[in-house]
Structure 1
């Protein structure tokens, strides 16, 4: 029996239904912000705006400076009951699922996010499968997804042969603990004052020449299976280039904005620590940290805590807001440092990956055959 719903590319007449779906299947709130909302999306990537992705998908020409997004909807009797989005990742031929949400089917009431027959259901499987097909059409070889470890998304992705790569822990510190007024309230769990950042030898802002050193730090601190799955290059750690000026209006209207600041610690010619702070105009700030445990020598005691203190000082001087940090399960030193300065574990995600295709050296074979004919 054929289902009475279908998966189609998003069009402008879907906008009203998509807006209702996004509002009802909202992002799951952490325990720090309040009670859990059961009407959650199956997947909602951090710092991702589904509305902005819809604009990129509907427009015929891509937005300058922004990767092209593919958006698909599940349509039933002219009503939008599901939305999925995927976009290119940092590495060439790598894509990632950034949004996946399902509403109630027609005739099942207005309780969005409530499964009718249990997950994984056919709607989610077909929507995710079509997103993978769309990535293949864009010459993607791998597709990634970061799903919560306590909802139904893992079962959906597992049905389509997504394999777990590593676990990612999300830590958060509320704005009340970041504000300058709380610095003296150490006994109440506030962020303690750390030593001045200038006391740490080798700490400086990242430069373009540091990309290879940061990549070597990544290789030294990341398990081989994760390196094999991500296949990162040294260019992945380079400083971002400025976006084209033509998209500043859309950035102001639809994107929270992100001002990235990066620091490195270089000791004896080797990069032993790296930190990135993303300051946003609205919403929480975002923090990334990577430290070589072998670099935390007696001469650099408290290196991780000092770097976190530097990041929190920049937050206080820009805009006081919650700070979210995501680290992986093998980064035990970073987890310990985050907890010591007031961060609390909020949620855990599982990074999953699916191999879509392999590059066949077709051009190389054609070149060899041509050379053989010339020689003969």
Structure 2
């Protein structure tokens, strides 16, 4: 018996159903009792707007500077009961799943209208499989997904041979703690108002030529298995450029105004620490940190704590708001430093990866590359 549901590309006439679906799904499970038709999304990437992804998918021409998103919906009896979205990840031929959700009215994958007791659901499996196929059509070789470790997404991704790579911890410091620290500095006088980290040897802003040094720091602090899965290049650490260029209206309306500031510490010609602070016009700020434990300075206050103090000081000077920091499980020094300055663990994700089937053009590209190396 053929199922009465299908997975199709998103179209303009799906907008009303997609809007209802997004409203009836949430980013994470809530401990407070809510409406019975509200369901946690299987995957909802941080800082991702499903509505903006729909606009990119159905737009006649790609938005300049914005990665083209692939959106698919699950239709059942003329209704939209599921939505999945994927987009390029940054590295060439790498994609990532950014949104995957089924509505509470989707029912069981085999029996139409039956209540859903859990995953994996046949609809979720086919929706995810079609997203992988869409990535292959765009010459992707790997596809990633970052799923929460306490929801049902792992079962769905595991059915399609997604393998766990590493765990990512999300820490957050509320705006109240940032404000209290700012008031304490105001009461301390002009001397206490000095920006932290100014006396830290080797601390400076990242420049264009520093991408290779930061890449070497990444290789020194990241397990080989994670490096093999991500296959990052030195260009991944280049200073960001404005994605929308002169499109000031789109930049104002469609982006959160992320302004990246990067610092690094160089000791004996080697990069031993790197930090990026993303200041936004609205919502929480975002922080990334990478420290070489062998380069941490001994003493009362270590290198990681000093750099975090510098980042929080810039937050106080720009706009007081919560700060979110994401580190991985092997970054024990960064986790300890975050907790020491007031950050608290919020949630944990599992980064998963699937090796996709290679298309004929991709095989030809690899064959040509191998032949060129042999000839040279």
**Counterpart position of 1:13:** 13
Q: Secondary structure at the match of 2:314?
A: helix
Count of matched residue pairs: 376
TM-fit CA distance, 1:299? 7.2
Matched-pair contact (CA < 8 Å) for 2:110–2:122: no
Structure 1: runs of 5+ lacking an equivalent: none
For 1:274 and 1:370, locate their aligned partners in 2 and report how far apart those are by CA, in whole Å: 35
Q: CA RMSD in A?
A: 4.9
Q: Secondary structure at the match of 2:253?
A: helix
Q: Can you list the C-alpha shifts for 1:285-316, whole angstroms capped at 9, x where unaligned? A: 11000000000033795110111111111111
| Higher deviation after alignment, 351-360 or 93-102 | 351-360
Q: Secondary structure at the match of 2:123?
A: helix
**Counterpart position of 1:212:** 212
TM-score (norm 2): 0.88
For 1:259 and 1:51, locate their aligned partners in 2 and report how far apart those are by CA, in whole Å: 23
Matched-pair contact (CA < 8 Å) for 1:39–1:112: no
Matched-pair contact (CA < 8 Å) for 1:41–1:113: no
Matched-pair contact (CA < 8 Å) for 2:197–2:310: yes
Structure 2: runs of 5+ lacking an equivalent: none
TM-fit CA distance, 1:152? 0.1
Question: Structure 1 residues 112, 374: closer, same or farther in 2, change over 3 A?
Answer: closer
TM-score (norm 1): 0.88
Question: Structure 1 residues 165, 285: closer, same or farther in 2, change over 3 A?
Answer: same
For 1:22 and 1:190, locate their aligned partners in 2 and report how far apart those are by CA, in whole Å: 49
Matched-pair contact (CA < 8 Å) for 2:124–2:156: yes
Matched-pair contact (CA < 8 Å) for 1:25–1:112: no
Question: Structure 1 residues 87, 291: closer, same or farther in 2, change over 3 A?
Answer: same
Q: Secondary structure at the match of 2:324?
A: strand
Q: Can you list the C-alpha shifts for 1:14-44, whole angstroms capped at 9, x where unaligned? A: 1111111111102127889999997221101
For 2:322 and 2:26, locate their aligned partners in 1 and report how far apart those are by CA, in whole Å: 19
For 2:72 and 2:195, locate their aligned partners in 1 and report how far apart those are by CA, in whole Å: 50
Question: Structure 1 residues 44, 192: closer, same or farther in 2, change over 3 A?
Answer: farther
Question: Structure 1 residues 299, 117: closer, same or farther in 2, change over 3 A?
Answer: closer
Q: Secondary structure at the match of 1:275?
A: strand
Matched-pair contact (CA < 8 Å) for 2:244–2:250: no
**Counterpart position of 1:230:** 230
Matched-pair contact (CA < 8 Å) for 1:103–1:113: no
Q: Secondary structure at the match of 1:298?
A: coil
Off by >3 Å, runs of 4+ in structure 1: 29-38, 105-115, 180-195, 244-248, 358-376
Question: Structure 1 residues 324, 194: closer, same or farther in 2, change over 3 A?
Answer: farther
Q: Can you list the C-alpha shifts for 1:200-258, whole angstroms capped at 9, x where unaligned? A: 11111110110000000000000000000000000000011222435432332233221
Matched-pair contact (CA < 8 Å) for 2:148–2:350: yes
